Each structure stands twice: as structure tokens, then as C-alpha cells.
Structure 1
Amino acid sequence: MYILKKLIVLSFFTFAIMHVAVAQLPKEIQHIKFDDLGWEKLADKLYRKYVFGEQGMLALFKMDKGAKVPLHQHSNEQTTYITKGSVKVTMQGRDYIVKAGEVLVIPGNIPHQFECLEDGTLDIDFFAPPRRDWIDGTASYFGNQEVGKKELDVVAQLDVRPGDVAVSAEGRVFSTIHPLGSQQLQLVEIVDGRAVPYPNLNMQKNGAKASDATFDAMLGLIFDKQNRLWVVDMGLEFGKTRLWAFDIQHNKVIEKITLPTSIAPKGTFAQDVTIDEKNGWAYLADIADPGIIALNLKTKKATRFGKHFSLNAEEKDMIIDGKVVHFGGKPARVAIDPITLSADRETLFYGAMNGTGWYSIPTKVLRELNSTQLASDQVIKVGDKPFSDGALTDSEGNHYFTNLQEHAITKMDKEGNLSHIIQDENKLLWPDNVYQGPDDWMYISINQLNTTPAFTGGKDRGVAPYFIYRFKK
């Protein structure tokens, strides 16, 4: 399916996204699978999705009894067709009960409000011309609940691509430098908006040959509950996967674990990591041979869970700004990428970058792994997600995803509902990861990764600066 840039700016896409920002080109033919557009939650019991062309917009609402659309008006003519259930529309002092199979035409600029009368009501609306207040995110009749109202604060403006960002309990900000973008620095601390080599310059690769004494290809990083910083080094040149841990109070290395080559051979691309400090385990996501590596931090022994469909990329194109994203010379099919842990450390969550499913598996199964089949039987699909390079799970059980196709951060609540909490097609240019710091600040690394030679197949098309942003949760 080919989707044009800005085809849908505030709608869902791929099972799980609140507003699609794929810019449209007027007078172009648009072939869209409507079922693949996810649901945007507008209010309690009320969801919508929509598409639009040059002169008209088609919207589908689903709602349950008691759902309400507050009093509002717009210049667009609205044709409402109830296909299931019933609604009450109040306008000009009169109530109109519209039942399944009935149509109500509302001329422009007439104030009106809706109330759903039955569970499972489905309402198809057609607007002419398209609703610009939806497209631009300026509609305010739901109490300004449209996306994009949060402010992005600049934490750092960099001339090299950040990889992932992590924030300590006291608010210190750390970032890897993405190995697809630079071979000079690998790990930095952001100090007064500047990237300072961490823990020192001597540990960085500095363009030299990879060695055991220095970093090689750092990417995923995370703080555990003991405020220790853990960073996975993929060893793309060195040929070995290493896990580093730092005591940031004394700025020193406290762990350097080299994974056994039987579990993580040369070519392993373990780009994300999460830490279970309660049981003493680390979990790494490998996209090269799609799998989860479970590492016992005490014994240094590791096992691998693989050969399961949930770990693999789906056969769906990633489309950003109207273009199919390629990786390695063909349409990107990136497997398991973001992984997170529940607050009690008993559940691991994961999903493919090129995937719309978010899955879980008990960590006990991974710690005691002795049968791939038994582990596979424990995998559960939690819900739908956007194409994402990063994710976090908060203490309340909500999940947050970097939404690559829609330039957004998308939240999945405990009921599985998806909504954008922030969206900016000009600033969120490949949000690589999202991290929750103290005082409910959310941090995002922005690196335009799809413009690197690994994706373009040619020259680097990225335009510096690259950013680390934050916004209030």
C-alpha cells in the first residue's frame, strides 16, 4: 500500500496510532486500506479514524452509550450515516434521534452536539470540504485534547546523531552516539547542552580500530533502580557483544561483560537492553538473528529465545513522509527492537520495529529457559503498536512508543487504547527512543536515522543539528 506524504495528519495508522501524519498531495490517487488505520481516542467511549482528499473527508466513529461530542460548529457540511446503534443530535433547539440506516445532513455553521444512545454504535461522517481543524490539530471542543499541545524543550542540539537517551534519578542526561552516524564518540553525558565524552575521552573509539579497552558500537542504554547506567555495545567491528555498567557517582566502569559467542556470535545486532536488578538479569534484543538474549549478571551465562513469529518483522512497508524506507538496499524489515520490563520485573514486553504487535513473556520463563516451545507457549499479544524504534513501560503499566511513521510518541494505556501524547512532523524526525526521567519529564532522541547511508544506500542525507528533547508527561 502506497501512502502519500500527509495523507492523514491526525488519524491512526497500522492498528495502533492516534493521528496519521502522512502528507497528502492534492489530486493524487490514494489507495488506502481503511481497516489498517488505528483508532484515535477523542473522549471516554468515543473513537475515530479518518481519511481525506482535496475536497472531502471520510470519518468513522465508534462509540458506546453515553459518549458525547460537545456543542460545536464548523463551516463544513456534514453528512452523518449511522450504520449501527443510534445517536441523539441536538441543534437549533431540537433533538434528532438518528438510528441505524438513517442519514442526517448538517449544513455548515450550525451549532450541534452528539450523544450516543447505544453501545457499539458506528457512525460514518462525510465532510465537505475536509476539516482543517482536525488536520491542523486546532479543534478545541474536546477541551483542547488534540495532539501537539505539549511543548518540546531542547536538552541538546548536536552535530552528530544521538542513539538512545537515558536519565538518572537526579536528572543527569546520558546518550549513546549512534554507530550508523559516527565512529568518533560512543557514549556522552549532556552537560549544559553539550555532549561530553563519558566517562572520558580515552574510552571512546575516536575512529581507531576497535579494541577490548575501548567502546565500539554503543546503542541501547538504561538506568536500573539502583541508579547504575547500563549500556549495550554491539561490537559491530570488534566482533563481540559487551554489556557495560557505570557507577555515575564515581564515573567509573563497574561491569564489562562479554557475551559468549555461542549466544551472541559476530554479526549480532543487540541494539536494545533492559535490566532486572531484582533477579540479577539483563535482556537484550537482537535484530540480526531475531531473538531475546537473557544474561545472568551473576554467573555471566546467557541463553537465547528465538524462532518465534513475534520476534520477526512483519511484511509491511515502513512509509515516512510518503516514501518507503529501505534498509540494506531493500524495503526495511527490522525485527525485534524495543524491549521493556514491567515495574515488578516479572514481565518482558517487546515488539519488532517493522511490526504492529506488542508482546509479553514472563521473565521467569526466560530465566529458566530450557525449551523454545515451552517459552513460545507463554508469549501473549498485549496489543497493537506503531512502527517504533524505542519504547518504555511506566510504573502504572502504560506503554509509550516512538512512532516513526507519524513523527509522534504514542501511548498504549492499560486497556490497550492508543493515542498520541505528542506529535510534530517538523521536529520528531525519527524519534529513536523515549525515556522517562524524574519529575515526569519524557526525553526523546531525534537522529533522522532513515537518512543515514545504511538506509539510503548512498550518501548521508541527514541535516544537522540533531536533537534531544524533553516534554512533560
Structure 2
Amino acid sequence: MQVMLPSEKYFGKFEVVFLFYGAMPTGVTVSETGRNFICFPKWGDDVKFTVAEIVHDTLQPYPSLEANVVSPSNITTSFISVQSVVADGNGTLWVLDTGAPNFSEPIKGGAKLVAVDLNSNKIRSVYTFSEDVVLPTTYLNDVRLDFRVGKAGYAYITDSSSRGPGAIIVVDLETGYAWRRLNGANSTSPDLFLLPKVEGKILMNRNKDGSTSPFRLASDGIAISPDGKMLYFCPLSSRHLYSISTEALRDRTIPDMNLKYHVKYWGEKGASDGMITDAKGNVYAGDYENNSIRKILPNGIMETIAHDPRILWPDTFSIGPDQYLYFIVNQLHRQARFHYGNDLRQKPYSLLRMKIDEPPAPTF
């Protein structure tokens, strides 16, 4: 006699926007006019262009193929290995280039933040970093922007290093001057007690030669409140959520060693890669251990809004003008570096969306 045993319940309604049969994507952003942009960091796949726009159900290199071709003469103006793309809601696409293919030491002048004008599809400005900001261990991960402070606004970038200090990098967009904050602080560092488990198995670095090491990445997910006054962040190797006032981050009179007293702890939200905020101040965060998406209300109450076996590593989030939450699912944990050189990923990777009935947080 066959008996149907009780099983785990899945919920949350989402739909497919785009399927990827080539390189693995990490980032997505939706502009205020509904344009969809994707990035593909160079982690070993055959990446023909590291930034793309989805146009008529095809991937087109953005802003051009030339901008995605690297040569020694155009290191600062071409895209090397882009980890994040963010449309600011005001006609600009911000491209965060790690300058570090395969997690190498960043190429000098290659790690940068690039502003692309979405009307002309031309690069408008490039922000590079000094050697005391982008360290040999730095991996630029994600960026949030606020144009209501300073003359040209500020950018906040996470350094998700796997072998050096994590940090939040603050950039004055008027002058290009940048500095590191919460450098090596507990809140930007991996949780050394975390034993991440994905698809029922412990996630750790498993090398071809049989050697293993813990999976530890520093500050990664980042989100900014609708008024620009609060920055939420989390290490990738952690289940904890933190926030800090952006005013404190910008205030250079506060020594970095004292900045930890301005950090607020919000509790466990699950282990997250991407995060984003809507116009009401709700934070959306992935939970890659549980194939889930969480919503954290401004009062700290957390709820799971999607739980589905197909959400295999929810990576970057974006909220479109259509009030959908867009997110990349890329099976990051199935990469060869976690399985003794065996690539367990199954194509296609996907861009999904679910209706949240809230617009994105404004930046201006």
C-alpha cells in the first residue's frame, strides 16, 4: 500500500522573466522605464560580455560590446568583471566593476564605479579608488546610492572579501573621494560560527586536490532606507542583519574604531546574498539556506513571502516600476569550487519576479 506522507509546504507566487543558458548571472536591476540589466562576473564561465540588457528576449552587451572588451589601454573605461548593476531611478545605470576576475587581486585601476547615462547609453563618469580603499584583498560586491546629501550624492559599497577585512566603502560622488568604514568590524565580517547548509548539505570550499576550507565571505547584501538615512547590510557568511545611519558613515570625525557603537543589530533573517528596500521601508532579503525570500518590516517583524525548491540561491534583488520584486536565481552553491571541481549547476539560470505591490525606495 502506498501512503502519501506529509511533506514540506512551499508557497509564494512568482513568474519567469528570462532564462539564461550561457554564463551564470549575479546581478539584475530594473530602471524607472522598465529596462532590465544583467551582469555576469568572470568566475570561470565563458563570459562574452559582463554587462547586458535584455532586449526583445535576447541579451545585448551594454552599453556596447566595445565597453565589455578589456585591453591594457582601457582598464579604467572598460568593464572587466562586473558584480553589480544598479539603476538609480533617475536616468543612470551604476556599474560596479570588481576589476578582479576569478576573485584575483584587483587589477590596478580596474576596480571602479561607473555611471552610464540611460538616455544616451554612454559612460558619463568613472570613479576609481586609491590603494588604501581597494585593498589587494578587496572584492567590490554591491552598491546603494543617495542623491539627497552632498552636492552630487553618495554611494555606499560593500567589500565582501574572502581573505581580508570586510567594509563599507563610502564615495562622495562630487569629488570621487572614497574611504573605508567598519573596516574589519564584527558586523562586516563573516560569522566564524556559521555552518551554512544548502540543499541539505554543508556549504564549504572543496578543492580539486581534496582539500577543504570554510566558506567565508564578508559584507555583501546592502539596502538603503527610503529617506536615505539608514543603511542595512549583512555579511554573506552570516544570518544576521545590521544597520547604521548613513550620517555616521559620512562623518569622518567619528573614528572607525568607534563606529561600531552606531551599528544596530536586527536579529537573524537567514543567510542572504542580495537585499533591497521598497518605498515603505520594507527590506527584502534572500535566504539561500532555505530557498526563501524574507520581508523585514521597519518595526523589525520578519515574514517569509516565498519558499520554493526552485529558488536555488536567490542572488540580487531589484524592484521595478511595475511593483514587482525581481531576483536572480543562479545556483551559486553548485559551482565546481564547492564540489571538488565538479560543476553541479543545471541550466537554465533564471530571472524571476513576484508581485509585492510596492514601488522601489527613492534615491533623490
TM-score, normalised by the number of residues in structure 1? 0.66
Where do 1:188-199 residues align within 5 Å?
188-199=52-63
Contact persistence 2:239–2:269 (CA under 8 A): yes
1:290 and 2:153 equivalent?
A: no
Match of 1:301 among 177, 185, 189: 177
What's the CA shift for 1:206?
A: 7.1
What's the CA shift for 1:190?
A: 0.8
What residue number does 2:199 align with?
Answer: 321
Q: Which runs of 5+ in 2 are unaligned?
A: 102-106, 207-211, 357-364
What's the CA shift for 1:266?
A: 3.0
Change (3 A) 1:335 1:259: same
What's the CA shift for 1:410?
A: 1.3
Q: Which runs of 5+ in 1 are unaligned?
A: 1-54, 56-128, 138-146
What's the CA shift for 1:152?
A: 1.8
Change (3 A) 1:158 1:190: farther
Larger Rg over CA atoms: 1
Task: Determine the C-alpha separation between the residues in 1 that align with 2:167 and 2:324.
Answer: 31
What residue number does 1:259 align with?
Answer: 129
What residue number does 1:84 align with?
Answer: none
Change (3 A) 1:281 1:206: closer
Task: Determine the C-alpha separation between the residues in 1 that align with 2:335 and 2:66.
Answer: 26
Contact persistence 1:157–1:193 (CA under 8 A): no
Match of 2:76 among 198, 208, 212: 212
* Matching residue's letter, 1:319: K
- Greater strand percent: which structure? 1
- The number of residue pairs the alignment matches comes to 333
What's the CA shift for 1:130?
A: 6.9
Where do 1:50-449 residues align within 5 Å?
131-132=6-7, 135-137=8-10, 147-148=11-12, 150-180=13-43, 181-205=45-69, 211-237=75-101, 238-239=107-108, 240-279=110-149, 280-288=153-161, 289-305=165-181, 306-314=183-191, 315-327=193-205, 329-370=212-253, 371-425=255-309, 427-449=310-332
CA deviation digits over 1:250-278, x for unaligned, max 9? Answer: 11111111111121123310111111122
Task: Determine the C-alpha separation between the residues in 2 that align with 1:205 and 1:459.
Answer: 29
Task: Determine the C-alpha separation between the residues in 2 that align with 1:208 and 1:408.
Answer: 42
What residue number does 1:469 align with?
Answer: 352
What's the CA shift for 1:195?
A: 1.2
Task: Determine the C-alpha separation between the residues in 2 that align with 1:208 and 1:472.
Answer: 44
Percentage of identical aligned residues: 29
Contact persistence 1:337–1:390 (CA under 8 A): yes
Change (3 A) 1:210 1:268: farther
What's the CA shift for 1:408?
A: 1.6
Contact persistence 2:91–2:119 (CA under 8 A): no
Task: Determine the C-alpha separation between the residues in 2 that align with 1:467 and 1:208.
Answer: 33
Aligned residues: CA RMSD:
2.2
What's the CA shift for 1:393?
A: 1.4
What's the CA shift for 1:153?
A: 2.6
Contact persistence 1:155–1:470 (CA under 8 A): no
What's the CA shift for 1:418?
A: 2.1
Task: Determine the C-alpha separation between the residues in 2 that align with 1:417 and 1:293.
Answer: 28
What's the CA shift for 1:210?
A: 8.2
What residue number does 2:361 align with?
Answer: none
Which of structures 1 and 2 has the larger relative contact order (alpha carbons within 8 angstroms, sep 6+)? 2
CA deviation digits over 1:23-78, x for unaligned, max 9? Answer: xxxxxxxxxxxxxxxxxxxxxxxxxxxxxxxx9xxxxxxxxxxxxxxxxxxxxxxx
Contact persistence 1:158–1:195 (CA under 8 A): no
What's the CA shift for 1:209?
A: 10
* Matching residue's letter, 2:220: D
TM-score, normalised by the number of residues in structure 2? 0.85
